[in-house]
Structure 1
């Protein structure tokens, strides 16, 4: 009897062991599949921040429209935030305090290469979504100032942009090709709104404003003053482009700000950049959402934003998620 009991106990233990081993194998296999799933598709963030610019510029209203589009199309709650614009935005992404940013193509290149304002603060964790529209360099003044040429800025109180902004670099380079140094003007570091308010109340004479036209702050000035946009003549524009290839010839159209004639100037390109630690799937969805819903952008610049032009003049690496979208559409840089 004892032997029979021992045999039955042994068989029971053996069967139980085989059962537990089989369960363990299934659990391990299930765990492996789960891990693979996590690796294959990163978790979608619930919130993203888009850093833009000042309330008087173009980035902020555009960012608001794009935040709404992204939220509706992807389910990610996007929020547009006021900021100091291009240069500050690149640093904000570097520090991990936002996911997407507006910037100028020249500033993005400086940041990635560690040049100029990024000499001691190189940005390595940012890639492009795509370019959007020309960022027109507007040298703004009024008829009563008597300023008609870039040379006339010598000795005048001139706003050259908020500290660390892309506008400052544009002002410095444009003055340079005209043989003017920052020390030759009384440089003021003001936002667009502060600049136009200063022109209106007479505390400054002129201001560099690098933004898509029409720019809200300048439109506000034009409501009370006869606005003058100082031209950058073709020869100087060619000289500037030869030394700094991210510029292109542009103009402020007639009718804008009450101008009777178009004014020749130069431009860089506005672009969207993203932290490179966002997954390919998320950036693909964001890129698709923006470029396939440009009709929902309320700002006038929305008409210029086209996927077909988004790879032109980028200047830095494109995020693989954005590139996947362009590849699907057969889009290449021109």
Structure 2
């Protein structure tokens, strides 16, 4: 064997050894898909990440367009074990699954982790617009196309046969300034109240209000809800409307398949255990919506993941020990030196 070939083999071996050592030392990457910067999803994601941080587990909270992107992310995006999705998105997919091979493929392997809380369907409009039916012929914002808000707005308008003159596919953060400036007449936003977008921005209650949504045809899909007075500074009266359930989704990883699947399943089991045992803490210190979480309210027709069930077992112990720094090889020498120096 020539020296040059030997050098290449040695270099390749050293690279492999160093790379393998690095991979063993590095924490396995875990991500949760949430929503926009001012939405409820991202705050819920940060609360869950806080549980992980308290025991040495890192969970990256990723912004997204919302429910549809999150569902696809859990299905297809690497190192993305969790996503928050609206229940009407799940119902929509389940409705079309039986007769559509593409939808069947899209939902394959995606599982329920936990039901979370109700998300109110906010429709903020000019004060002269009395209800949803009055959006006919108006210019409205319905959320970006990969979002749950977009799907919900589209379903509501279709069910009630309301036809606006224009529907802008922009996110609520971008839509609110357009509404306040008079460029559009109303905007849809599905978010757990109090939604930070409305709570943190100055909105004139004499010019804008939340529309009531009480039409009977909608109650077959949605839950009746109410936003109490004072939830937002601009809304002085209670508003009866509808809500969807936010659901935490994951993937049914196969621990027999490969190392990635095993590590991802372990991550799902760990965070299932942390959420289950930390729910009281989340209700006390997290977003106000945690107070209404009922883990028994599973959406019909969807299965709970195997890795989730493993983490819920009474004897399950999550890997909560923070990783210790590897010794650099000189620690023993320094300890011996200190001992010798202490001797007379």
TM-score when normalising by structure 1: 0.73
Alignment partner, residue 7 of structure 2 = none
Q: Give yes or no for the alignment of 1:304 onto 2:292.
A: yes
- Secondary structure of the 2:154 match is helix
Task: Provide the residue aligned with 2:272 in structure 1.
Answer: 287
Which of 182, 194, 203 is the matching residue for 1:224?
203
Q: Of 50, 55, 61, which aligns to 1:80? A: 61
The answer to which of 313-322 and 80-89 deviates more is: 313-322
Once structures 1 and 2 are overlaid, which stretch shifts more, 54-63 or 64-73?
A: 64-73
Tell me whether 1:102 sits opposite 2:84 in the alignment: yes
Out of 212, 227, 230, which is 1:252 matched to? 227
Counterpart secondary structure, 2:298: coil
DSSP-derived class of the 2:59 partner: strand
Aligned alpha-carbon RMSD (Å)? 2.6
Separation of aligned partners in 2, 1:291 and 1:198: 41
Which structure shows the higher helix fraction?
A: 1
Gaps (5+ residues) in structure 2? 1-25, 254-260, 316-344
What is the rounded CA distance, in whole Å, between the counterparts of 1:92 and 1:324 in structure 2?
23
State the distance in 2 between where 1:315 and 1:142 align.
39
Give the direction of change, closer, same or farther, for the CA distance of 1:205–1:131 in structure 2 (3 Å limit). Answer: same
SS in 2 for 1:46: coil
What is the aligned residue count? 271
SS in 1 for 2:247: strand
1:214 corresponding residue in structure 2: 194
Do the aligned residues in 1 keep the contact of 2:132 with 2:211 (CA within 8 Å)? Answer: yes
Structure exhibiting the larger radius of gyration computed from Cα positions: 1
Q: Aligned-pair distance for 1:306?
A: 4.1
Could you list the runs of 5+ residues in structure 1 that have no partner in the other structure? 1-43, 330-334
Q: Which residue of 2 aligns with 1:130?
A: 114
Of 242, 248, 257, which residue of structure 2 is paired with 1:272? 248
SS of the residue corresponding to residue 198 of structure 2 reads helix
Q: Residue 224 of structure 1: SS of its match in structure 2?
A: coil
Residues 266, 84 of structure 1: alpha-carbon distance in 2 compared, 3 angstrom cutoff: same
The equivalent of 2:156 in structure 1 is 174
- Cα offset for 1:315? 4.2
The CA deviation at 1:77 is 1.5
1:317 to partner: Cα distance: 1.0
